[in-house]
């Protein structure tokens, strides 16, 4: 009987092994579904090892998740948009640049064989649809939460910018964490942000609304940020008030309008450092309270007060700006140590810049 049963058992075992083997490729190839910030479900491979990032905010977060080794391509203008990134991760200078915020060289992109491409939310469909048709997953990130119509705009009309950017930044970080398989690092980054924003709020409880300091963010050629951009949020969170709140998005204004606003403090981004002396030496700017009182400040690299925020803006920039506006209220806060903690924890390197 044993000799009759053995072939049957062997046949059954062989059939079972064959069934398992045949099922494995289908299982391994089954995609992960990740929803991007335009509400699109994107099918990703189980492991994303090769990434082309054509969005500077996302690039910053990828470095904070210490996933720079996954990058195979970057946006062309990354050096001007993300000052100091190559100091944090020198390999960036070696990478291919197959596109930018709103354009892409398909031939160069496909040579890189990416597992995923990260693109800004306002990139035209003519840019990213061909990438998807070529079989490469595309993730679009906005860094704010809004309905579909506003979510795809460079200058959105946001009813509550603070809430939109707060929720949108958290969402973007977690999406990138999920995409790269770095969920724990992403959650740690979100937690750090929340803790430091709470610290700022606790120190500003005694600042009445009518005593908030009037602030202005100076960009080249008299451009500035109004409502709907993150600059207004960072000022508000820091206890200030954006004098340009009456305009929408990123716009050019005129000197007459700036003099009417008469900001008490003027901020200049680190990437526009040359503008600092231009303002201080200008006879027109001398008429503002900020210049007369010597309150024109160059933001450190980590403030990054762009139109959209970065984790550093939330965790470090708001704290720096609040401490600059109300130094007495933040005497107990060692900003330098907070900055070093952030850089060591997330970038894995010391800060090494100006505070």
The 3-state secondary structure of the chain reads CHHHHHHHHHHHHHHHHHHHHHHHHHHHHCCEEEECCCCCEEEECCCCCCEEEECHHHHHHHHHCCCHHHEEEEECCHHHHCCCHHHHCHHHHHCEEEECCCCECHHHHHHCCCCEEEEECCCCHHHHHHHHHCCCCEEEECCCCCCHHHHCCCCCCCCCHHHHHHHHHHHHHHHHHHHHCCHHHHHHHHHHHHHHHHHHHHHCCCCCHHHCEEEEEEEHHHEEECECCHHHHHHHHCCEEECCCCCECEEECCHHHHHHHCCCEEEECHHHCHHHHHHHHCCCHHHCHHHHCCCEEECCHHHCCCCCCCHHHHHHHHHHHHHHHCHHHHCCCCHHHHHHHHHHHHHCCCCCCCC
Q: Are residues 166 and 251 in the same domain?
A: no
Judge if 39 and 173 occupy the same domain.
yes
State how far the Cα of 10 lies from the Cα of 16, in Å rounded to an integer: 10
- Asked whether residue 186 is assigned to any structural domain, the reply reads no
Verify that 168 and 216 share a domain, yes or no: no
In-domain check, residue 137:
yes
My answer on whether 212 and 176 are in the same domain is: no
Query: Do residue 119 and residue 60 come from a single domain?
Result: yes
Would you say residue 37 lies in a domain? yes
Same domain as 172, residue 56: yes
Structurally, the chain folds into a number of domains equal to: 2
Q: Which of 162, 181, 200 delimits the end of a domain?
A: 181
Question: Is residue 159, in this structure, part of any structural domain at all?
Answer: yes
Which residues, including other chains, have CB under 8 Å from residue 187's CB and lie 6 or more apart? 174, 177
Hey, CA dihedral for 203, 204, 207, 212, is it positive or negative?
positive
- pLDDT tens track of the chain, all 355 residues? 444 445 545 444 444 444 443 444 433 456 789 999 999 999 999 999 999 999 999 999 999 999 999 999 999 999 988 878 999 999 999 999 999 999 999 999 999 999 999 999 999 999 999 999 999 999 999 999 987 667 777 777 888 889 999 999 999 999 999 999 999 999 999 999 999 999 999 999 988 888 999 999 999 999 999 998 899 999 999 999 999 999 988 999 999 999 999 999 999 998 899 999 999 999 999 999 999 999 999 999 888 877 788 999 999 999 999 999 999 999 999 999 999 999 999 999 999 877 7
Residues 157 and 212 in one domain: no
For residue 40, which phi and psi values (nearest 5 degrees)? -90, 135
- Rounded to 5 degrees, φ, ψ at 169 are -65, -45
Task: Please give the Cα distance from 57 to 228 (Å, whole number).
Answer: 17
Domain limits for position 157: 33-181
In a domain, 26, yes or no: no
Q: Which residues pair with 48 in a beta bridge?
A: none
Please report, for the domain that includes residue 112, its CATH number: 3.40.50.1980
Asked if residue 111 and residue 230 are part of one domain, the reply reads no
Residue 27 resides in a domain: no
142 and 219 belong to one structural domain: no
| 76 and 147 inside one domain | yes
Instruction: Tell me, yes or no, whether 294 and 335 share the same domain.
Output: yes
- 333 within a domain of the structure (yes/no): yes
Q: Give domain status of residue 353, yes or no.
A: no
The verdict on 170 and 230 lying in the same domain is: no
Per-residue pLDDT, 127? 97
């Amino acid at each position: 009987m044993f000799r009759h049963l053995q072939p049957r058992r062997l046949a059954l075992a062989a059939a079972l092994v064959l069934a398992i083997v045949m099922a494995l490729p289908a299982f391994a190839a089954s995609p992960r579904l990740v929803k991007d910030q335009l509400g699109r479900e994107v099918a990703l491979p189980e492991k994303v090892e090769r990434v082309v990032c054509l969005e500077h905010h996302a690039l910053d977060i990828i470095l904070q998740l210490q996933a720079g080794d996954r990058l195979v391509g970057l946006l062309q203008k990354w050096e001007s948009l993300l000052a100091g990134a190559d100091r944090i991760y020198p390999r960036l200078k070696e990478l291919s640049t197959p596109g930018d915020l709103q354009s892409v060289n398909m031939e160069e992109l496909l040579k890189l064989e990416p597992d995923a491409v990260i693109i800004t939310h306002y990139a035209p469909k003519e840019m990213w649809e061909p990438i998807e048709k070529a079989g490469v997953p595309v993730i679009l990130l906005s860094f704010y939460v809004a309905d579909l119509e506003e979510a795809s705009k460079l200058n959105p009309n946001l009813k509550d910018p603070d809430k939109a950017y707060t929720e949108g930044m958290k969402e973007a970080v977690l999406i990138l964490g999920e995409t790269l398989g770095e969920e724990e690092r992403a959650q740690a980054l979100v937690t750090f942000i929340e803790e430091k924003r709470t610290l700022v709020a606790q120190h500003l409880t005694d600042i009445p609304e009518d005593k908030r300091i009037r602030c202005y963010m100076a960009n080249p050629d008299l451009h500035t940020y109004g409502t709907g951009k993150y600059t207004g949020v960072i000022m508000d969170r820091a206890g200030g008030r954006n004098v340009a709140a009456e305009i929408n998005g990123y716009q050019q204004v005129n000197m007459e309008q700036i003099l009417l606003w008469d900001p008490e403090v003027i901020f200049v981004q680190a990437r526009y450092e040359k503008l600092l002396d231009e303002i201080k030496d200008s006879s027109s700017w001398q008429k503002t309270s900020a210049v007369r009182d010597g309150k024109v400040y160059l933001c450190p690299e980590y403030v990054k007060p762009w139109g959209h925020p970065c984790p550093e803006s939330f965790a470090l920039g708001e704290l720096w700006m609040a401490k600059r506006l109300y130094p007495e209220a933040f005497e107990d806060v060692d900003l330098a140590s907070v900055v070093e903690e952030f850089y060591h924890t997330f970038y894995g390197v010391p800060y090494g810049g100006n505070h």
